[in-house]
């Protein structure tokens, strides 16, 4: 029996993870976190029998659920305290945003394996996460579908045989549009993703292609592959999730229906690859797979992310924090769609990047980038 702490349990990935765990007698939920949704957290605690929960938003502490036999952690250290108290074998980090970095570090410090959906952890503090993982001797298992695919294609491969990684992008709801057509698009249009149903922040990141930029940085850290060997290709069907190029000319692909329960299950049951309810791909019905290059001039966030990744240090943290601020401003209707890239670019210009040494430094770069992005966003509004 493996005990699992599910962080971000009320979100899109969190809820799907609870479904996967409920179907498996060998997995047990020991702890749950949510940020503000006290009712959702209480419902999840009752459904799973978890005895430890955390509500992380300090402003929501007053709403924290009171359930007989359940301990509730609140406040600034709520998630770290929850992880430590839980003694979980595995922590699934499905928190959204750089707020997830401390949780990832806390999970390794507590000696747990980490199933990581929270790509922002690796973007903001990749070196810190990898150092914490090495020190703990535990596993870092990707949940992001592309990285789950890549990890599976890479299994057993000698590093010298690998010449490149390919990350696929659906292209989002604005694939094929020209830049000038995107100035006036609304949040509702950007939230209408063609192939995946996800939380609001990652759905906007998918529309700008920042999500692929974050995933390039995530892939660089997870697989120790140089940036120039990580390609992004648009694949509108979202059937091929990731591919690995090998030196003999072979290209291994991971193919399947777009359903996050597959990579979630792979991470939670690794290395056993247990059964899921997700149907395998039906090859008897008409199926065509298309691939096309990214329109980098229209979707500028991808290049900004790649540049920040190559610059290294705190640059990816600055990029990520500014993007979080810009995405919220766009969702609130305060800035336009094209302003997201402009705000991120301005924050990267205004906040100098430094070599990455400590968590405190990452938190400070994150804070400064948010302030710079808020200023740039207010000017754009």
Are β-strands 90-93 and 71-74 bridged in parallel, bridged antiparallel, or unpaired? unpaired
Residues 321 and 342: their CA atoms lie apart, in Å, by: 14
Nearest to 145 by CA among 124, 170, 123, 128: 170
Choose from Mg ion, ligand NAD, none: what does 239 bind? Cβ within 5-8 Å by kind: none
CA distance 175 to 194: 10
Candidates 59-67, 141-149, 190-198, 372-380; binding stretch for Mg ion (CB under 5 A) = 141-149
> Smallest gap, in angstroms, from Cβ of residue 178 to Mg ion?
25
Q: Report whether 261 contacts 20 (CB < 8 A).
A: yes
Q: Can you tell me the distance from the alpha carbon of 265 to that of 139, in angstroms, rounded to the nearest whole number?
A: 15
Minimum CB separation of residue 6 from ligand NAD in Å reads 9
Residue 144 in the binding site for Mg ion (CB under 5 A): yes
The residue (of 107 and 346) whose beta carbon lies closer to ligand NAD is: 107
Distance (Å, whole) CA 83 – CA 4: 10
The least distance separating ligand NAD from the CB of residue 99, rounded to whole angstroms, comes to: 3
Q: How far is the CB of 144 from ligand NAD (least distance, A)?
A: 5
120 lies in the binding site for Mg ion (CB under 5 A):
no
Quick one: what does residue 120 bind among Mg ion, ligand NAD, none, with the CB cut-off 5 to 8 Å set by partner type? ligand NAD
C-beta separation of 153 from 255 below 8 A: no
Total residues contacting Mg ion by CB under 5 A comes to 3
| 92 versus 372: smaller Cβ distance to ligand NAD | 92
235's contact among ligand NAD, Mg ion, none, with CB below 5 to 8 A by partner kind, is: none
Tokens at 66, concatenated:
């009171």
Residue 138 or 201: which CB sits closer to ligand NAD?
201
Chain residues binding ligand NAD by CB under 6 A are 8-14, 34-35, 37, 56, 94-97, 99, 117-120, 144, 196, 198-199, 201-202, 260
* Beta carbon of residue 310, minimum distance to Mg ion (angstroms, whole number): 21
For the bound state, the minimum distance from the C-beta of residue 53 to ligand NAD, rounded and expressed in Å, comes to 12
CA dist., res. 341 & res. 304, Å (int): 8
Other beta carbons within 10 angstroms of residue 178's beta carbon come to: 10
Q: Which residues pair with 242 in a beta bridge?
A: 167, 254
CB of 25 to ligand NAD, least distance (A): 25
Q: Which does 312 bind (CB under 5 to 8 A by kind): Mg ion, ligand NAD, none?
A: none
Among 25-33, 81-89, 145-153, 237-245, the segment contacting Mg ion (CB under 5 A) = 145-153
Q: What is the Cα–Cα distance from 269 to 21, expressed in whole angstroms?
A: 10
259 near Mg ion, rule: CB under 5 A: no
Q: 9 CB contacts (<8 Å, ≥6 apart)? A: 15, 17, 18, 32, 33, 34, 40, 41, 44, 94
* Selection from 151, 187, 120 nearest residue 267 by Cα: 151
CA 315/CA 302 separation, integer angstroms: 14
* Binding piece for Mg ion, criterion CB under 5 A, among 80-88, 136-144, 148-156, 315-323: 136-144
Question: What are the residues binding Mg ion (CB under 5 A)?
Answer: 144-146
């Amino acid at each position: 029996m493996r005990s699992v702490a599910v962080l971000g349990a009320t979100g899109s990935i969190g809820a799907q993870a609870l479904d996967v765990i409920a179907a498996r007698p060998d997995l047990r939920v020991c702890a749950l976190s949510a940020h503000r949704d006290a009712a959702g957290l209480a419902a999840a605690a009752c459904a799973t029998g978890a005895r430890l929960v955390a509500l992380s938003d300090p402003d929501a502490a007053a709403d924290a659920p009171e359930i007989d036999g359940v301990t509730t952690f609140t406040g600034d250290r709520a998630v770290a305290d929850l992880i430590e108290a839980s003694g979980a074998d595995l922590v699934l980090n499905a928190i959204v945003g750089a707020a997830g970095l401390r949780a990832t570090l806390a999970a390794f410090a507590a000696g747990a394996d980490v199933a990581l959906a929270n790509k922002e952890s690796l973007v903001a503090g990749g070196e810190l996460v990898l150092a914490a993982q090495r020190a703990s001797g535990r596993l870092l298992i990707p949940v992001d579908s592309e990285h789950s695919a890549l990890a599976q294609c890479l299994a057993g491969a000698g590093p010298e045989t690998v010449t490149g990684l390919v990350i696929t992008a659906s292209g989002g709801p604005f694939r094929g549009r020209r830049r000038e057509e995107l100035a006036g698009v609304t949040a509702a249009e950007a939230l209408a993703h063609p192939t995946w149903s996800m939380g609001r922040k990652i759905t906007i990141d998918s529309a700008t292609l920042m999500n692929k930029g974050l995933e390039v940085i995530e892939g660089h850290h997870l697989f120790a592959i140089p940036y120039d060997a990580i390609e992004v290709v648009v694949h509108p069907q979202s059937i091929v999730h990731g591919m690995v190029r090998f030196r003999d000319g072979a290209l291994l692909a991971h193919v399947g229906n777009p359903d996050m329960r597959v990579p979630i299950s792979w991470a939670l049951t690794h290395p056993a690859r247990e059964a899921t309810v997700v149907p395998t791909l039906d090859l008897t019905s008409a199926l065509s797979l298309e691939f096309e290059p990214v329109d980098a001039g229209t979707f500028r966030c991808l290049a900004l992310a790649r540049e920040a990744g190559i610059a290294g240090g705190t640059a990816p943290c600055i990029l990520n924090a500014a993007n979080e601020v810009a995405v919220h401003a766009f969702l609130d209707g305060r800035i336009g769609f094209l302003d997201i890239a402009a705000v991120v670019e301005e924050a990267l210009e205004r906040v100098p990047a430094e070599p990455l040494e400590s968590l405190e430094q990452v938190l400070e770069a994150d804070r400064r980038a948010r302030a710079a992005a808020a200023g740039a966003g207010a000017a754009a509004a």
